[in-house]
Structure 1
C-alpha cells in the first residue's frame, strides 16, 4: 500500500483498534485463476513471540476452497471510516482555485501465511467468542448454545477455521493531515 510518511500509522494498539472496530476484512490470496478475495469477520488476538503483530482468526465454509490453501501468503484488508472531501470546503478554493476533491480514510493491511484449523473444539470456542462479541449490543443476546446441539454439531462439520499469524502490518490514516486546522472537515 502506498503510504507517504505523513499518513503512516504504526502504533499496534491503533491498528488493532481499527481491525476490532471494523472486523469484516477482505482476505486476498493468489489462486489458479489469479487474485481471489473472501470477505470474512475476523477476530484479532494479541501478539505472541511467534506473531509479533497479532493473530487473525476466522472461519469459512468447508465448500470454500480457501481452506485448502494453507501455507500460502495472504493479505487481509480492513477499512475504517471514510469520507469524500469536496474542494468547496477549502479556503484555497476562493484564493487560487488550486484544490481538488479527495477522500479521507483509514485502512490496515495485515500480511501472513494461512493456517488451517479443522478441530471442532477450537471452532466451537471461536464461534462462541465471535457470537458473544457481535451479539453484546443486543437487548437479548443470542448465544451459540441457544441453538439445538445437534444443529450446531452439523454446522461445525460444515466449516473450517483459519488463522493468520501477522508477519507485517501496515496502517494508513489519510485524514486531511496536510490541511490547516481551519480547513479540516
Structure 2
C-alpha cells in the first residue's frame, strides 16, 4: 500500500480500532494458481504477539485453504470512506485548481496463514465471532441456542484460520494535506450528506 508520510498511521491502538470497526476483511493469499481472496469476518486477539493475531474461518469447500501460500497472507480492512468533491474546497472558488479525491481508513495486516480443523478450536472461534457481532442486539443469539449436535455437524463444513500478524500498515487519508479552510469545507460537505459513511468520515477530518 502506498502511504505518503502525511497519511501514515503507526499507532497500534488506532490500527486495531479500525480493524475491529471494519468487521469484514478480505483474506488474500498468493498461490501457485494465482491470487485468491475471500471476504471474511475476523476477530482480533491483541494479546497474542507484538501486533496481535487474527482468527476466522472459511468454508471447507473453499480452495484457498488447500493451496499452500507463497509467503505471507494479507488481511485487508477498510474503515470509513467517502468521495471528496472539489466543490467542497474554498480553493475551487479562488483558483479552480482542485480535483476529486477519496478519504478513507485502511489497514493491511500480514502474516503466515495457519488453517486448522480441530472441532474444539473451531467451536471457540465460531463462538467468539458470534458473541462479538451479537453483543449489540437487544436479545443476542448464542451458539448454545442451537442443538449441540447441529453445531457439531455445521463445524464439519468449515476450516479455521489463525493469522499471527508479523507486519502491519495503516493509512489514514482524511484531507491532512489540505489547508484548514479546505478541510473545514470537506467536513461540512460530508456532514451534510445523506450517506452515513460520508458523515462518519466528516467526523474524522482534523480541524
Partner deviation per Cα, 1:57-105 (whole Å, 9 max, x = no partner):
1101111122224565211100000001111111111111110000000
Partner deviation per Cα, 1:105-146 (whole Å, 9 max, x = no partner):
000000111111211111111111110110111121110011
What stretches of structure 1 move > 6 A for 4+ residues in a row?
Answer: none
CA distance in 1, matches of 2:47, 2:141: 29
Q: Which residue of 1 aligns with 2:92?
A: 93
After superposition, the CA RMSD in angstroms is 1.3
CA distance in 2, matches of 1:47, 1:36: 28
**Structure-2-length-normalised TM-score:** 0.84
CA distance in 2, matches of 1:164, 1:70: 14
Contact 1:9 1:171 survives alignment (8 Å): yes
CA distance in 1, matches of 2:115, 2:29: 14
Shift of 1:161: 0.6
Q: Which residue of 2 aligns with 1:64?
A: 62
CA distance in 2, matches of 1:28, 1:76: 6
* Between structures 1 and 2, the one with greater helix share: 2
CA distance in 2, matches of 1:5, 1:138: 40
Q: Secondary structure at the match of 1:9?
A: coil
Contact 1:70 1:114 survives alignment (8 Å): no
CA distance in 1, matches of 2:145, 2:27: 30
Contact 2:36 2:64 survives alignment (8 Å): no
* Between structures 1 and 2, the one with greater strand share: 1
Shift of 1:45: 0.8
Shift of 1:54: 0.8
Q: Which residue of 2 aligns with 1:112?
A: 111
Contact 2:31 2:68 survives alignment (8 Å): no
Shift of 1:47: 4.1
Unaligned runs of 5+ in 1: none
Contact 2:52 2:164 survives alignment (8 Å): yes
Q: Which residue of 2 aligns with 1:81?
A: 80
Q: Which residue of 1 aligns with 2:175?
A: 176
Q: How many residues align?
A: 183
CA distance in 1, matches of 2:7, 2:18: 15
